[in-house]
Chain A
Amino acid sequence: MEKLLRVNMSDLEVRSEELPDEYSLLGGRAMTSTIVAAEVPPTAHALSERNKLVFAPGILTGTTAPSSGRLSVGAKSPLTGTIKESNAGGISAQKLASLGIRALVVEGQPAEKGFYVLVVSAEGAKLEPAGALAGLGCYELNTRLWEKYGTGAGIMCIGPAGEAGMPNAGVSTNDRENHPGRYAGRGGLGAVMGSKGLKAIVLVCDKTFEAPVADKESFKEAQKLLSKAILEHPVTAQALPAFGTAVLINILNEAGGLPTNNFSSGRFDDAAKTGGEAMAELCKTRGGKGKMGHGCHPGCIIRCSNIIPDEKGEVACAPLEYESSWALGANCGIGVLDTIARLNYLCNDVGLDTIETGVTIGVLMEAGLLPFGDGDGAIALLDKEVRNATPLGRIVGAGAEVTGRVFGVVRVPTVKGQGMPAYDPRAVKGIGVTYATSTMGADHTAGYSVTSNILKVGGFVDPLKAEGQVDLARNLQIATAFVDASGLCLFTAFPLLDIDYALPAVADMYAARLGRPYTVADAIEAGKEVLRKERKFNEAAGFTKAHDRLPDFMKYEKLAPHDVVFDVTDEELDSVYNF
């Protein structure tokens, strides 16, 4: 019997409930957003006892479906004030699913400030005082937790930034090597976890593929088809394992859409030094523990992840992804891979989202607090100021929008308080529509229009023109909401978009897993339903169409090299949610 685990931090008790019938088809983002919408008052303060933090594996997570081990973490966001789902890889989601836990809901708040560790196993769940573990960075924390609870345990935890309640704090999850680098980074969910007095959740469970499947035979058939599609598509079969996601650095740079020096240009002179090709080269020449083609969880057959080696071949950082390499690189004018890897390591250790951190440092550089390209200055900001929660560190930890306001900066690339990822919406207009209208604030994963705008996957829509972008962003947001509920990695979307038998295979897996009919039409409707719920929550929290806009400067400040502004009209943006 699948269940829902409620962890009440007010009375420090854990209760197990049977999964309610109406939740039986929900997983991942559909589960987290449904519970948050149903149980959290939209106007609640995100760090108050009235907020809830929900962890949910996808419907296919913990099965043998390829690349299906993704985790959704949801709550009301202290960064954006909206509902939030942040998605992560790592080994924890499969353990949750294998333990029969469809959702783990953390609620309430301890009366006295203090930190706890939640330990979950097949025998049950208990809260233990965190003791000396409180205050630790995630690397040391993970090492000690494996020493105490056994090698291989799943760990979802926060660093000092989360403990301090910083709106840019993420929730870390570990990979098979116990690197804490698989983050549910976006939207400050680490601060919500900190506000609940929860330092870490430890999953003691050596099972990976034990989620219940009603019809194993049909499941296998459908699973084979999806695997075939993934291994047939050149992106998932070749490009991602060989060069990782950072293969995008060069193509966005060529396209003039790689935000550089706080979104003041679309091209970065040192871009190539920070891209996937350069990372692959580094792994080859330095050897040691360096590796491309690393999987963030067992059963991923795409393996886009990597381990970046330092000069001695030891682990500098794992993984270094496109968004992080850009945020801490081009956006800050930093073109040295070792420096970027160090900054990413520090984000992982202190417990910060890499994207928001890079965007925030970019804004600080714009403000003149430190010059563009100042890697050492950026390192000191994270390692000294943020780690120790100094007043300046708290400003950085509050994200780009707050930082811009504190320092009087106009060019602040945020939507709904969240920093923009690695695509300038003036040169990649489809992603601009997603940034503006997503229920999550500026989020590329919510509707990845870069596929058709730049990569020519799922057709081609000219990135420099306004035409066609709204339809593109709408359809992708709907499809993504479903994928985020399934537990499949979003990168399966490349074959799902291009290969016609792939999506029906996913629907068939749903049917076989749940033991009831499930069609592609059901999947699309499920995606729409997630968006409607999220949107309704945001409206009740005070968001209007005036919030579905890009920052003003993008309407008049021309972006080099194409000298373009964002010119999708407000009326068009308002038509995204017409379903």
Chain B
Amino acid sequence: MIRISIRLFATLQRYLRPPAPGEGTALEVPEGTTVDGLLRTLGVPLEQVKIVMVNGIHAEMEYVLREADRVGVFPPVAGG
């Protein structure tokens, strides 16, 4: 198992209430887990996911998670 932290934002918050606003939820996942696999496990509807960042860098759904990764997931958002 590896340990990661994950944050879901905006409308996706409802699939994983954070311990406190903005704080990541620590999770243990089997080695080899992809972002896609992780989100499926959490029950996040993938069609609502627009942006995934791992350690602050845009990542694809196929990205294979590593120990201590920080994952942020967003639906379509914008502003300015």
Contact = CB atoms under 8 A, between A and B. Distances in A.
Contacts of A255: 53, 56, 58
A445 B80 contact: yes
Interface in A233-260: 233-235, 238-240, 242-248, 250-251, 253-256
Interface stretch (B25-33, B37-45, B61-69, B70-78): B70-78
What secondary structure prevails in chain B residues at the interface with A? loop
B13 interface: yes
Given A242-B10, A251-B9, A255-B53, A272 B79 contact: no
Contacts of B23: 272
What secondary structure prevails in chain A residues at the interface with B? helix
Contacts of B58: 255, 456, 460, 462-463
A240 B79 contact: yes
A464 B57 contact: yes
A247 B80 contact: no
Contact of A277 (B9, B50, B55, B79): B9
A451 interface: yes
| Centre residue among B10, B50, B56, B80 by max chain A CB count within 10 A | B80
Given A255-B53, A273-B21, A561-B56, A246 B79 contact: yes
Contacts, number: 110
Contacts of B11: 238-239, 242
Contacts of A273: 21-22
B56 A256 contact: yes
Contacts of A494: 78
B57 A239 contact: no
> How many residues of A sit at the interface, in one of the four size bands?
35 or more
Given A250-B22, A561-B56, A277 B78 contact: no
Given A242-B11, A254-B7, A254-B53, A248 B79 contact: yes
Nearest to A451: B78
A455 B50 CA distance: 8
A240 B79 CA distance: 7
B78 A239 contact: yes
A566 interface: no
Nearest to A246: B79
Nearest to B13: A277
A267 B56 CA distance: 10
A463 B22 CA distance: 23
A375 B10 CA distance: 27
Interface string B1-36: 000000101110100001001110000000000000
A271 interface: yes
A79 interface: no
| Centre residue among B7, B50, B76 by max chain A CB count within 10 A | B76
A444 interface: yes
B73 to A, nearest CB: 9
Contacts of A444: 80
Contacts of A543: none
Contacts of A247: 9-10, 77-79
A488 to B, nearest CB: 14
Contacts of A464: 57
A251 B51 contact: yes
A545 interface: no
A486 to B, nearest CB: 17
A179 B77 CA distance: 27
Contacts of B9: 247, 250-251, 254, 277
Given A247-B10, A277-B21, A460-B58, A239 B77 contact: yes
B28 to A, nearest CB: 22
15 contacts: A233-B76, A239-B77, A242-B11, A243-B77, A245-B80, A247-B9, A247-B10, A250-B10, A251-B77, A253-B22, A255-B53, A276-B79, A277-B21, A278-B21, A561-B55
Given A248-B79, A255-B53, 6 more contacts: A247-B77, A248-B80, A251-B9, A254-B72, A494-B78, A562-B57
Interface of B: 7, 9-11, 13, 18, 21-23, 50-51, 53, 55-58, 72, 74-80
Interface of A: 233-235, 238-240, 242-248, 250-251, 253-256, 266-267, 270-273, 275-278, 281, 304, 321-323, 444-445, 448, 450-451, 454-457, 460, 462-464, 490-491, 494, 561-562
